[in-house]
Amino acid sequence: MAVLDDLSGFEFEDVIEDVFRNLGYENVRQATKTADEGRDILMEEVVDGIRRAVVVECKHTDSVGRPVVQKLHSAIATFEFDGPKRGMVVTTGRFTGPAQEYADRLKQNDDPYQIELTDGQDLRRIADEIGLDLYNGRIEILCDETLRPYDPAASIEVPIKEAFRDIENIDSTEIPEPHTQVTFNPIVSVTADTNAVFETSVGVIHRINERTNFVVHAGRGHPSVADDAVATLVAENRHTTVDLDIERFQEVFDEVSDHRFGQTETEYKEWAVDRLQEFHTTTVTYTGGNNVTYNKTCEPNLSDISVQSIDPVFLPEVRQTTHLKDYSHPYEYYAAGPSRVTIEDGIHRCVHCETHGVDETYTYCANCGAVACGSHIETERLTGEPVCTGCAVTDRFALKTKYFYDEENLESFRTEYAEMPFYKQAMENTLLAGGSVIMTLLIVVGLLIIGGII
* Tens-place pLDDT, residues 114-130: 999 998 888 878 877 77
In terms of DSSP H, where are the helices of 165-255?
A: 228-237, 246-250
- For residue 348, which of 369, 366, 364 has the smallest C-alpha distance? 364
> What is the per-residue pLDDT for 317?
97
Check whether residue 147 and residue 284 sit in a common domain: yes
- For residue 303, which of 216, 206, 197, 212 has the smallest C-alpha distance? 197
* Tens-place pLDDT, residues 316-372: 999 999 999 999 999 999 999 999 999 999 999 999 999 999 999 999 999 999 999
What is the C-alpha separation between 360 and 384, in angstroms, rounded?
Answer: 22
Asked if residue 33 has pLDDT above 60, the reply is: no
- For residue 272, which of 221, 198, 222, 233 has the smallest C-alpha distance? 222
Q: Measuring CA to CA, how many Å separate 76 from each of 83, 89, 122, 404?
A: 12, 12, 22, 88
In a domain, 257, yes or no: yes
Residue 143: strand, helix, or coil: coil
pLDDT classification of 176: cutoffs 50, 70, 90: very high
* Tens-place pLDDT, residues 250-296: 999 999 999 988 787 778 888 899 999 999 999 999 998 888 999 99
> What is the per-residue pLDDT for 1?
40
What is the C-alpha separation between 129 and 300, in angstroms, rounded?
Answer: 35
In a domain, 334, yes or no: no
> What is the per-residue pLDDT for 42?
92
Check whether residue 78 and residue 163 sit in a common domain: no
Check whether residue 444 and residue 404 sit in a common domain: no
In a domain, 397, yes or no: yes
What is the C-alpha separation between 22 and 26, in angstroms, rounded?
Answer: 10
Check whether residue 220 and residue 294 sit in a common domain: yes
**If you count DSSP H runs as helices and E runs as strands, how many of each does the chain have, helices first?**
11, 26
User: How many residues in the chain?
Assistant: 454
Q: Give the domain-ending residue among 271, 301, 318.
A: 318
What is the C-alpha separation between 446 and 454, in angstroms, rounded?
Answer: 9
Q: Measuring CA to CA, how many Å separate 42 from each of 32, 86, 153, 225, 436?
A: 10, 11, 47, 28, 92
Asked if residue 454 has pLDDT above 90, the reply is: no
Check whether residue 206 and residue 108 sit in a common domain: no
Asked if residue 399 has pLDDT above 90, the reply is: no
Check whether residue 164 and residue 201 sit in a common domain: yes
What is the C-alpha separation between 162 and 174, in angstroms, rounded?
Answer: 13
Count Cα neighbours of 237 within 13 Å in the Cβ-side half-sphere: 28
What is the C-alpha separation between 141 and 133, in angstroms, rounded?
Answer: 8
> What is the per-residue pLDDT for 2?
40
In this structure, how many other beta carbons lie within 10 angstroms of the beta carbon of residue 228?
A: 11
Q: Measuring CA to CA, how many Å separate 128 from each of 121, 125, 275, 291?
A: 11, 5, 31, 61
Check whether residue 269 and residue 245 sit in a common domain: yes
In this structure, how many other beta carbons lie within 10 angstroms of the beta carbon of residue 205?
A: 16
The letter for the amino acid at 58 is C
Domain region containing 398: 347-418
In a domain, 413, yes or no: yes
According to DSSP, residue 176 is labeled P
Give residues with Cβ within 8 angstroms of 2, minimum separation 6: none
What is the C-alpha separation between 417 and 412, in angstroms, rounded?
Answer: 9
Asked if residue 386 has pLDDT above 80, the reply is: yes
In terms of DSSP H, where are the helices of 222-380?
A: 228-237, 246-250, 265-280
Burial tier of 199 (Cβ tally within 10 Å: 0-12, 13-18, 19+): exposed
Check whether residue 306 and residue 437 sit in a common domain: no
Count Cα neighbours of 264 within 13 Å in the Cβ-side half-sphere: 17
Q: Give the domain-ending residue among 128, 161, 195.
A: 128
Check whether residue 28 and residue 93 sit in a common domain: yes
Residue 214 and residue 190 in contact, taking contact as beta carbons nearer than 8 Å: yes
> What is the per-residue pLDDT for 24?
86
What is the C-alpha separation between 368 and 387, in angstroms, rounded?
Answer: 8
Check whether residue 285 and residue 406 sit in a common domain: no
Asked if residue 200 has pLDDT above 60, the reply is: yes
Give residues with Cβ within 8 angstroms of 171, minimum separation 6: none
| Phi, psi (degrees; rounded to nearest 5) at 265 | -60, -40
> What is the per-residue pLDDT for 377?
97
Q: Give the domain-ending residue among 70, 95, 128.
A: 128
Q: How many domains does the chain have?
A: 4
What end-to-end distance do the CA atoms of the chain give, in Å? 116
Check whether residue 116 and residue 148 sit in a common domain: no
In a domain, 61, yes or no: yes
82: domain CATH number is: 3.40.1350.10
In a domain, 325, yes or no: no
Check whether residue 114 and residue 176 sit in a common domain: no
Section 149-157 average pLDDT? 93
Please give the helix or strand (H or E) that residue 98 lies within, else none: helix 97-108
Asked if residue 47 has pLDDT above 60, the reply is: yes
* Tens-place pLDDT, residues 402-437: 999 999 999 999 999 999 998 888 888 876 555 555
Using alpha carbons only, how large is the chain's radius of gyration in Å?
36
What is the C-alpha separation between 385 and 379, in angstroms, rounded?
Answer: 6
Section 126-149 average pLDDT? 74
What is the C-alpha separation between 72 and 67, in angstroms, rounded?
Answer: 9
In a domain, 153, yes or no: yes
Residue 26 and residue 41 in contact, taking contact as beta carbons nearer than 8 Å: no
What is the C-alpha separation between 369 and 194, in angstroms, rounded?
Answer: 55
In a domain, 331, yes or no: no
Share of the chain above pLDDT 90, in %: 66
* Tens-place pLDDT, residues 440-452: 565 555 555 666 6
Give residues with Cβ within 8 angstroms of 229, minimum separation 6: 341
